[in-house]
Copies of this chain bind each other. A is one copy, B any other.
Amino acid sequence: MKKLDKTLNILIIGLGLLGGSYAMSLKKQGYKVSAITKDQSTVDYALKNGIVDYATTDVDETLIKNSNLIIFALYPHIFKEWIKQYGNIISEDTVITDVTGVKGTVVYEIQSLLKNGVEFISAHPMAGREASGVENSSDEVFKGANYIVVPTEKNTENAKQLCRDLGYTLGFADISELTPQKHDEMIAFLSQLTHCIAVSLMCASDDPDLEHYTGDSFRDLTRIANINDEMWSELFLANKTALLKEMDSYRTAFNKLYNCIVTNDRDGMREMMKLSTARRKRFEKRI
């Protein structure tokens, strides 16, 4: 098994926002980065802007065989399809990793599809933007952000270390490790629920004049209401049980606050606000 160094041939499959940001960061630091992606326009953009050393829309067998580290930045179902169709091309002793936003319904299945000698170590970079596509890529998004390595009992220490090293190299500030199940619970609360909230809020009023009166609180809260519906609807359903549980917990808290207002329970309200303020202080970004 290899270490993360500049002799590695790194291949990124899927040059969207995240794939492109990985490529940009790694290439800038002198790593050898190639990419396979579906649209020729993405290939052209990435080459023109020096985001990768080489890119193609072909499933290029030689390129895949010669890669030592493959990073998949695809939607979950496309990732699985790709491995089913082409996984056998990947050479032994290759490590693959990913950026997929759900793990339980992905990691075990991918690991079971791979041949012996090819190790899949899953990771989730907690960075993104309310935009998609390679042209919105930026290696800045990783700075100060969190990165979660999500191993199973099949993973080796060596691959976990390689995956952590990748996170540090990309510039993440806090690298942690979770099981797929714990990851999915965490993400249901921290990421999926927040997107549910923003979308619901944006759908709750059809007043056409709101933007003249809004302040930053509404703007910040709904930044993610600008959402990739294809990707997020897939992620929500792929993590349904955990997400519904977190939605329930949140509804309970919201209803509690609602009832405080109904009953003029100012102390109850202030208690929730004090708890909220104390907890929120832990979440500032460490840059």
* Chain A residues within CB distance 8 Å of chain B: 126-128, 145-146, 148, 174, 176, 178, 183, 186-187, 189-191, 193-205, 207, 210-227, 229-230, 232-234, 236-237, 240, 243-244, 246-247, 249-254, 256-258, 261-262, 264, 266, 269-270, 272-277, 279-285
Quick check: B186 and A210 within 8 Å, CB to CB?
Answer: yes
Quick check: A200 and B281 within 8 Å, CB to CB?
Answer: no
Quick check: A204 and B252 within 8 Å, CB to CB?
Answer: yes
* Chain B residue at minimal CB-CB distance from A187: B213
Q: Which 4 A-B pairs have CB atoms at the shortest separation, nearest pair first?
A: A229-B273, A126-B215, A202-B276, A200-B254
* Known A196-B254, A203-B275, A258-B244: A269·B214 in contact at CB below 8 Å: no
A281 cross-chain contacts in B, Cβ below 8 A: 226
How far, in Å, is A275 (CB) from chain B's closest CB?
Answer: 6
Quick check: B269 and A201 within 8 Å, CB to CB?
Answer: no
A229 cross-chain contacts in B, Cβ below 8 A: 269-270, 273-274, 277
- Cα distance, A282 to B230, chains bound together (Å): 21
Quick check: A199 and B273 within 8 Å, CB to CB?
Answer: yes
Quick check: B218 and A191 within 8 Å, CB to CB?
Answer: yes
* Known A204-B249, A229-B277, A276-B203: A190·B215 in contact at CB below 8 Å: yes
* Chain B residue at minimal CB-CB distance from A286: B211
Interface of chain A: mostly helix, strand, loop or mixed: helix
- Cα distance, A21 to B190, chains bound together (Å): 34
- Cα distance, A269 to B228, chains bound together (Å): 11
A254 cross-chain contacts in B, Cβ below 8 A: 196-197, 200, 247, 251
* Chain B residue at minimal CB-CB distance from A178: B213
- Cα distance, A214 to B234, chains bound together (Å): 20
* Known A201-B250, A225-B276: A285·B219 in contact at CB below 8 Å: yes
> Can you list 19 A-B contacts (CB < 8 A)?
A126-B214, A128-B215, A146-B213, A178-B213, A186-B207, A189-B205, A194-B218, A196-B254, A197-B221, A198-B217, A202-B275, A202-B279, A203-B257, A220-B224, A229-B274, A236-B261, A236-B269, A237-B264, A244-B258
A225 cross-chain contacts in B, Cβ below 8 A: 276-277, 279-280
How far, in Å, is A107 (CB) from chain B's closest CB?
Answer: 16
Quick check: B258 and A146 within 8 Å, CB to CB?
Answer: no
The interface centre, meaning the residue of A221, A237, A274 with most chain B CB atoms within 10 A of its CB, is A221
* Chain B residue at minimal CB-CB distance from A226: B280
* Known A215-B191, A244-B258: A203·B128 in contact at CB below 8 Å: no
Quick check: B236 and A199 within 8 Å, CB to CB?
Answer: no
